[in-house]
Structure 1
Amino acid sequence: MAETIELTIKEDGKRIDAALAESGLEQSRSTIAAWIKDGLVEVNGSPVKRSYKPKEGDKVAIHVPDTKEVEKLEAENIPLDVVYEDDDLIVVNKPQGMVVHPAAGHATGTLVNALLYHAPLSTINGEFRPGIVHRIDRDTSGLLMVAKNDKAHKALAAELKEHKTERYYYALVKGEFKENNGTVDAPIDRHPKDRKKQAVVAGGREAVTHFEVVERYMGCTLLKLQLETGRTHQIRVHMQYIGHPVVGDPTYGHQAEIAGIRLKGQLLHAKTLVLTQPTTGKRLTFDSELPKIFKQVLNAIDDSKLKTDAD
C-alpha cells in the first residue's frame, strides 16, 4: 500500500462512498467505490460495504493501493477478438491471461489498453476502468461487454443489476455429480483471513450460481453455469464450497495439470452472453468457442467419459 488515509465522519445519513467523496479526497466517487469493493476502506477497524452508512464520529481508514505503475493510461495496439460492435457497445472474447483493466502490477497490456486503441469508451468508471461494465478474472477467458458511451454504460449496468443480462460459463470441475443440475445459493464476501481471496461467509453479499451437467468424466465433470449475481470469483468460490473446485484454479484449490497437460489457469470460460442493445432494445445473443487449451483437455480425457442414463 502506498499510504493509509485516516479521517473522522462529520455527519451521518450518507452512504460511505458519498461521504468520503465529499470529505475533500482527491479521488472520484467511482474510485472510492472500487476501493470499498476491494476491502480497502475500514470503519472503526472493519471493512464495510458500499451501502454502509457511517455515523458521526466514526473513524475511517482508507488503505490507498499503490498505483505508481499506472500514472497514465495508454492506448496500445494489442489484437482484440471482437465478436460484435455497434455505436453503443463492443462484445469482446478475452483470452486467458489478460487482465481486464490496469492496476498495480499490471500497468500495461490489459484489455482496457487494447480497447482504447480500438474505440472511444464510456467514462463512468473513471480513468482506469473506462467502458468496463463487468469483469472476468485474468485467468478466465470469454465474452465481456464494453460500453462505448455513458448512456449505453448506464443501460447495460442497470440491466446487469436487475439480473436481466444472461451469462453462461463452461467449467471443468473436480469430481463427479450425481445430480444433473442444481443451484448454489451461498453469500460471498472477502475471506476473513486472506484478503486476496473470497469465501462463502455468513452475512456476505447474496450470490447465486445455477449449474447443469454437460458431460461426465472419470474424476471430473464439465458444467454449464449461469450467474444470477456477479460477485468476485463467484463461480470459483461456489465450486470450491460444494467440493468441486475448477480444474487448474491456482487460488481455490485444484491441480495445475490434467491428462499430462500443464495449465496456466482455471478451465473456466464465459461462453455465452445475452443482453439488450441500449438504443434499439433488441435482445442480442453471443456465443464463443472454448479456448484451445480447454478443448485439448477435453479431447485428452474423452476416453474417460462416464455412461449416463441418456447414453
Structure 2
Amino acid sequence: MEQMQWTVSEEVKNDRIDKFLTSQDDEWSRSQVQQWIKDGQVLVNDKSSKSNYKVQVNDVITLTIPEPEELDVVAEDIPLDVVFEDADVIVINKPRGMVVHPAPGHYTGTLVNALLHHCKDLSGINGVVRPGIVHRIDKDTSGLIMVAKNDHAHESLVNQLKAKTTKRRYKAIVHGIIPHQHGTIEAPIGRDKKDRQSMTVTEENSRDAVTHFTVLECFKDFTYVQCELETGRTHQIRVHMKYIGYPLAGDPKYGPKKKTLDIEGQALHAAMLGFTHPKTGEELEFEAPLPEDMEELLHYLRKK
C-alpha cells in the first residue's frame, strides 16, 4: 500500500475533501476518491472523514491507497514496433487505437498484454495491471513510449519525468491557421467540472502545464505543428491547443463535433523521445516517423 499526506493551505480552505483529493492527481476520479473515503482509506488529523467534509487550514490529510485490484492480465501475441530494447528499457512505437494498459472496457489488446508476451522482465512497481509503465499516451495518439524492465529503471525514468529532463516532441495537425511561428502555452490544467472525463484549463484544483509549439506548415484551414512538452498532464496538448483556438483535427473530445478530416482519433503523434539511460547514464534520443494516416492527411491538405 502507498501512503500520501498533505497539509491544507489557505487557498483551498472550505473545499470538500473529495474535491481536494481529486485535484492532487489527474488520474483520480471523484467517485474513486469517495470510495476510498467510504472505505476508511482517508484520515483527517488521524480520524476518518466523510466526502462532504470541508477542509480547514493546517488539516493533515492522509490517504492510504490500497493495492490495485489484481486482474488476470493475459500475455497476448500482438506485434510490437520495438524501437530500442536492452536489459533495462524498452521503447515502443505505439499504433493509434491501442490502449496502454488494461482498464474497465479494455482488458485485452493493450500494450501491456503485448509486452507481457514480448518480454518476461518488466518492472513490478505498478503491479500486474501496469507492469513497467512509467508514462502513457492516449489510446488514439500514436508514437513513442518508454517502458521499464526492472524497478531501478522504473524509478530512474519516473524521476526524470518529475524533474522535466525527458524530451518529448509531438507532431499534430490542428484546425485553423496559426499566424506566428513559435509559441508557449502556460496554462494550468485540471478536471472539467461539467465533464469529469475531460480536462480543461482552470485555476481551480489544477496543476501547472507548459507546452511549446512550432509551426511546421500552413494549409488552407489547418496547421501542421510540432509540440514539445515541458510538463506531462493528462490530454495536455489536446487541451492547450483547444484553449488557444486551434483544436486538434479528428479529436473526438476536444475538437469540433462534426468530423472534418478522415482520421480515427486525434491527429497527434509522439515523434521524439529522449531520456538518460537508467544504468549507463547515456543520453538517448529516439524518433518515430509519422504514421501512414497522418502522412496521407498532409498529402491531402497540400493538394487542396
TM > 0.5 fold call: yes
Shift of 1:34: 7.7
Does structure 1 retain, via aligned residues, the 8 Å contact 2:160–2:166?
yes
Query: In structure 2, what is the Cα distance between the partners aligned to 1:34 and 1:124?
Result: 18
User: Which residue of the partner structure matches residue 176 of structure 1?
Assistant: 177
- Shift of the 35–294 alpha-carbon distance from structure 1 to 2, 3 Å rule, reads closer
Q: Say if 2:123 is the partner of 1:122.
A: yes
Query: In structure 2, what is the Cα distance between the partners aligned to 1:165 and 1:246?
Result: 24
User: Which residue of the partner structure matches residue 37 of structure 1?
Assistant: 28
Shift of 1:265: 0.5
Could you give the per-residue CA deviations for residues 168-193 of structure 1, whole angstroms, max 9, x where no partner exists? Answer: 00000000111111111111111111
Could you give the per-residue CA deviations for residues 114-152 of structure 1, whole angstroms, max 9, x where no partner exists? Answer: 001111210111220110010000000000000000000
Identical pairs, percent: 49
Does structure 1 retain, via aligned residues, the 8 Å contact 2:26–2:191?
no
Query: In structure 2, what is the Cα distance between the partners aligned to 1:106 and 1:200?
Result: 28
User: Which residue of the partner structure matches residue 247 of structure 1?
Assistant: 249
- State the aligned residue count: 264
- Shift of the 15–247 alpha-carbon distance from structure 1 to 2, 3 Å rule, reads same
Does structure 2 retain, via aligned residues, the 8 Å contact 1:170–1:268?
yes
Query: In structure 2, what is the Cα distance between the partners aligned to 1:53 and 1:216?
Result: 54
Query: In structure 1, what is the Cα distance between the partners aligned to 2:129 and 2:183?
Result: 37
Q: Partner amino acid for 1:108? A: T
Q: Say if 2:50 is the partner of 1:59.
A: yes
User: Which residue of the partner structure matches residue 160 of structure 1?
Assistant: 161
Structure 1 runs not aligned, ≥5 long: 1-12, 17-32, 47-51, 305-311
**Normalized against structure 1, the TM-score is what?**
0.79
Q: Partner amino acid for 1:85? A: E
Could you give the per-residue CA deviations for residues 203-238 of structure 1, whole angstroms, max 9, x where no partner exists? Answer: 311111000001011111001000011111000011
Q: Say if 2:17 is the partner of 1:15.
A: no
User: Which residue of the partner structure matches residue 9 of structure 2?
Assistant: none
Does structure 2 retain, via aligned residues, the 8 Å contact 1:123–1:149?
yes
Q: Partner amino acid for 1:15? A: Q
Structure 2 runs not aligned, ≥5 long: 7-23, 53-62
Alignment of 1:184-199 (within 5 A): 184-199=185-200
Alignment of 1:1-311 (within 5 A): 15=5, 37-42=28-33, 54-55=44-45, 56-60=47-51, 71-119=71-119, 120-203=121-204, 204-254=206-256, 255-258=258-261, 262-304=262-304
Question: The residue matched to 1:168 in structure 2 has which SS?
Answer: strand
**Normalized against structure 2, the TM-score is what?**
0.80
Shift of 1:57: 4.7
Query: In structure 2, what is the Cα distance between the partners aligned to 1:257 and 1:178?
Result: 21
Query: In structure 2, what is the Cα distance between the partners aligned to 1:252 and 1:219?
Result: 17
Does structure 1 retain, via aligned residues, the 8 Å contact 2:26–2:234?
no
Query: In structure 1, what is the Cα distance between the partners aligned to 2:133 and 2:268?
Result: 20
Does structure 2 retain, via aligned residues, the 8 Å contact 1:83–1:92?
yes
- Shift of the 276–53 alpha-carbon distance from structure 1 to 2, 3 Å rule, reads farther
User: Which residue of the partner structure matches residue 27 of structure 1?
Assistant: none
